[in-house]
Structure 1
Amino acid sequence: MKRIIAKLWRIIRGPMQWRVLWLAHSKFMAGITGIVRDDAGRVLLLRHRMWPEGRQWGLPTGYATAGEEFGQTVVREVREETGLEVKPGRLVHLKSGYKLRIEVAYEAQLVGGDLKIDSFEILEARWCSPEELPDGMQESHRLLILGKDPTD
């Protein structure tokens, strides 16, 4: 049976193989978080309108669009939510296993722009030192800022 499947697989090369793989495998959303720092080492925090009451403070976060590189998702989300321009840095967190979502976090450096929040999604934005993070912050984001693994 394996030989027949292998022979069929070779026959249907190209786009048909991709369709079969697409149908046979799970689909995931990619939630991307940016740990944005300024030249003073402060971290950009946002109070998100759509997040649960009492846990609204966190890092810039959003979902990747189809074909978008994850580092560029950070750039896009920060620009959309705050008007600021950032340069993505190194990947600091990658985790799967939460339903059909993978979680990805990148460091990012402020490079320009003027702070102008998107009031539909964001209630408030502020720069904080890692030692003075506000109450009501997502614990996983607090750990990312402190350089700790949020899955420990």
Structure 2
Amino acid sequence: MVGVTGVVRDRGGNVLLLRHRFWPEHRQWGLPTGGAKRGETFEQTVVREVREETGLEVSVGELVHLGSGFRLRVEVAYVAAYDGGGTIRLNPMEILEARWCAPGDLPDGLLAAHRRLIEASGERPGDVASGGRPGDVASGGRPGDGGSGGRRGRGGEGGVEVGGVVEAAQDPPDLGQHQV
């Protein structure tokens, strides 16, 4: 299995962190992450996982980590830039909350390996496919600052955003509606 992680940054260099529903309570914060699917490049995995978990569109930059993980697992991480595309819609089956954090103001409970990835990626996400400056946000701001952000809906739309923090509904949708 290949685990792929994205260090997603906005124009100001803030990092997108997610509070994952199924991670241990004392360390639920982490980066967007997931498994690569057959026939998918690692870059495509980053884009898909960020979209599935948050509804946001990103451009993938440079590789920041390639290593072995648990048993027969490979860990891959890329930097990515939030391009201003998409609307934050959390997947309440996986994600409880999303937050843009300054690299110097990371929350307690952040997975240690993800903290190291943020540090390894430096203050910039690297050259991105869009040709823009690393971390550029096409709309001119980060979610919640009046640019592309603002208030989001609840329920089917996945949560509400206030001041750069998005919280999902606490109860996931009925499992009968989703394939697991």
What TM-score does the superposition give when structure 2 sets the normalisation length?
0.65
Q: Identity percentage over the alignment?
A: 65
**Structure-2 residue corresponding to 1:114:** 87
Structure 2: how far apart are the matches of 1:97 and 1:59?
A: 16
Following TM superposition, the consecutive aligned residue runs of length 4 or more in structure 1 with deviations greater than 2 angstroms are: none
Structure 1: how far apart are the matches of 2:110 and 2:101?
A: 12
Unaligned runs of 5+ in 2: 122-180
Secondary structure of residue in 2 paired with 1:78: helix
Structure 2: how far apart are the matches of 1:40 and 1:66?
A: 34
**Structure-1 residue corresponding to 2:159:** none
Q: CA deviation at 1:97?
A: 5.0
Tell me: CA distance 1:53–1:79, structure 2 relative to 1, closer, same or farther (3 Å). Answer: same
Tell me: CA distance 1:97–1:39, structure 2 relative to 1, closer, same or farther (3 Å). Answer: closer
* Number of aligned residues: 120
**Structure-2 residue corresponding to 1:125:** 98
Q: Trace 1:1-152 onto structure 2 (pairs within 5 A).
A: 29-96=1-68, 98-111=70-83, 112-147=85-120
The structure whose residues are more often helix, as a share, is 1
Q: State the one-letter code of the partner of 1:128.
A: C
Q: CA deviation at 1:98?
A: 2.2
Q: State the one-letter code of the partner of 1:84.
A: L
Structure 1 or 2, whichever has the larger Rg, is 1
Unaligned runs of 5+ in 1: 1-28
Q: State the one-letter code of the partner of 2:23.
A: W
Structure 1: how far apart are the matches of 2:20 and 2:32?
A: 9
What TM-score does the superposition give when structure 1 sets the normalisation length?
0.77
Q: CA deviation at 1:61?
A: 0.3
Q: CA deviation at 1:77?
A: 0.2
